[in-house]
């Protein structure tokens, strides 16, 4: 077993060479590797289209057994990184069985990412981060707006880009560009069997939770579950993304038992794509500081004004039959633990 010291620091300023700066990098094969109690900060990629990472796990093996497995990333602080096109904590390729727990990830580009389909492993069937848990992390103020490689709002707090069989639970994701996203950036490839449960996702600039490809050239999100989350006043800059955003090609996903609070945009769900099949929504609780008739929901590009209208339309597909809307007092505030 490999363990990092009780409290160590990794700090790198700038990079003029051809290799990206990385705080901690693990590749090829290995088992039972712990990365704990580190403070990783101020690593910078200062060239456009450059890359940098705080912690990067890149599993290049072509073997189902001899890969990177049983990886633990626990109780680290990863902060104030200029990452270019990359992420603060990344799991990529043939990684099987991992835990990302109790970390503080803030003031970076994308916070935590679980990646597949990039060719890191030469065997396509193994080229996905899988069988993992992302639990009890505090992820905030991650944004790409001042990133020279982006200069727009597109950084997730927690991002599954083509991973599979991952549980994301008990995290706080707030004041990022997006809260949590499940997608695949590779056409014909999926992010699947992801469970997003018992998280608090609040005050992000765009959507609280997004699933599916950001445009029709991307892959799809299939057989994922989003349940028992508090999704609170995201879409803070009125990006029309709402609290939950269904993007391109969403298949057989389940969205249930969430507490969903509208922001000033009044948009609860946005879905600006028709490629939406087999998705099930029910037992959700919608809250707004306005009458139900002023809330907005979008489904398969059709916009419903008012919860009654939305529920009637969704009932035709057997959706939202037991969901409810409640009006909130403007004095109500979410208190983060």
CA atoms within 13 A on the CB side of 78: 36
Does the residue 200 lie in any domain? yes
Does the residue 183 lie in any domain? yes
Does the residue 334 lie in any domain? no
What are 218-267's pLDDT values in tens digits?
999 999 999 999 999 999 999 999 999 999 999 999 999 999 999 999 99
Among 68, 170, 176, CA closest to 114? 68
Is the dihedral angle over the CA atoms 24, 103, 144, 121 positive or is it negative? positive
Both tokens assigned to 114 = 């679980």
Does the residue 43 lie in any domain? yes
Q: Are strands 280-282 and 254-256 parallel, antiparallel or unpaired?
A: parallel
Does the residue 332 lie in any domain? no
Rounded Cα distance, 276 and 247, in Å:
8
162 secondary structure, DSSP code? B
What are 105-127's pLDDT values in tens digits?
999 989 999 999 999 999 999 99
Does the residue 15 lie in any domain? yes
pTM: 0.93
Both tokens assigned to 242 = 């709402």
Residue 143: pLDDT band (50, 70, 90) is: very high
Backbone angles phi, psi at 213, to 5 degrees: -70, 145
Does the residue 253 lie in any domain? yes
Burial class (CB in 10 A: 0-12, 13-18, 19+), 49: exposed
Rounded Cα distance, 266 and 258, in Å:
17
Contact (CB, 8 A) for 56 and 17: no
Radius of gyration of the chain (CA): 20
Contact (CB, 8 A) for 87 and 159: yes
Q: Which residues contact 125 (CB under 8 A, 6 or more apart)?
A: none
Q: Are strands 296-299 and 302-305 parallel, antiparallel or unpaired?
A: antiparallel
Output the domain CATH number for residue 229.
2.160.20
Rounded Cα distance, 217 and 56, in Å:
27
249 secondary structure, DSSP code? -
Check whether 2 has a pLDDT greater than 70: no
CA of residue 42 relative to chain centroid, distance: 23
Residue 53: pLDDT band (50, 70, 90) is: confident
Does the residue 3 lie in any domain? no
- pLDDT value of residue 150: 72
Average pLDDT for 27-41: 97
Domains: count for the chain = 1
What is the domain extent for residue 192?
8-327
Residue 315, SS3 per DSSP? helix
């Amino acid at each position: 077993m490999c363990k990092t010291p009780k409290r160590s620091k990794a700090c790198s300023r700038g990079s003029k060479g051809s290799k990206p700066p990385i705080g901690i990098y693990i590749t090829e094969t290995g088992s039972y590797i712990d990365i704990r109690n580190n403070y990783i900060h101020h690593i910078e990629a200062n060239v456009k289209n450059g890359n940098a990472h705080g912690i990067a796990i890149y599993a290049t093996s072509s073997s189902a057994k001899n890969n990177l497995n049983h990886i633990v990333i626990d109780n680290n602080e990863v902060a104030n990184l200029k990452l270019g096109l990359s992420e603060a904590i990344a799991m990529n390729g043939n990684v099987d069985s991992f835990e990302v727990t109790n970390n503080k990830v803030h003031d970076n580009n994308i916070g935590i990412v679980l990646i597949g389909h990039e060719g890191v492993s030469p065997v396509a069937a193994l080229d996905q981060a899988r069988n993992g848990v992302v639990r009890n992390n505090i992820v905030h103020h991650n944004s790409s707006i001042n990133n020279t490689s982006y200069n727009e709002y597109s950084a997730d707090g927690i991002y599954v880009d083509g991973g599979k069989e991952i549980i994301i639970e008990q995290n706080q994701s707030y004041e990022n560009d997006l809260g949590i996203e499940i997608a695949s950036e590779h056409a014909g490839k999926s992010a699947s069997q992801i469970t997003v449960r018992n998280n608090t996702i609040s005050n992000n600039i765009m959507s609280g939770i997004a699933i599916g490809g950001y445009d029709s050239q991307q892959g799809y999100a299939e057989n994922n579950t989003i349940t028992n989350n508090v999704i609170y006043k995201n879409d803070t800059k009125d990006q029309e993304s709402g609290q939950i955003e269904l993007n391109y090609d969403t298949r057989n996903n389940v969205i249930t038992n969430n507490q969903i609070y509208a922001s000033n945009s009044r948009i609860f769900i946005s879905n600006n794509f028709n490629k939406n099949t087999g998705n099930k929504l029910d037992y959700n609780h919608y809250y707004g500081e306005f009458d139900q008739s002023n809330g907005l929901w979008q489904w398969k590009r059709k916009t419903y004004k008012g919860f009654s209208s939305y529920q009637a339309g969704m009932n035709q597909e057997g959706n939202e039959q037991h969901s409810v809307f409640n009006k909130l007092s403007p004095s109500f505030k979410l208190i983060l633990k």
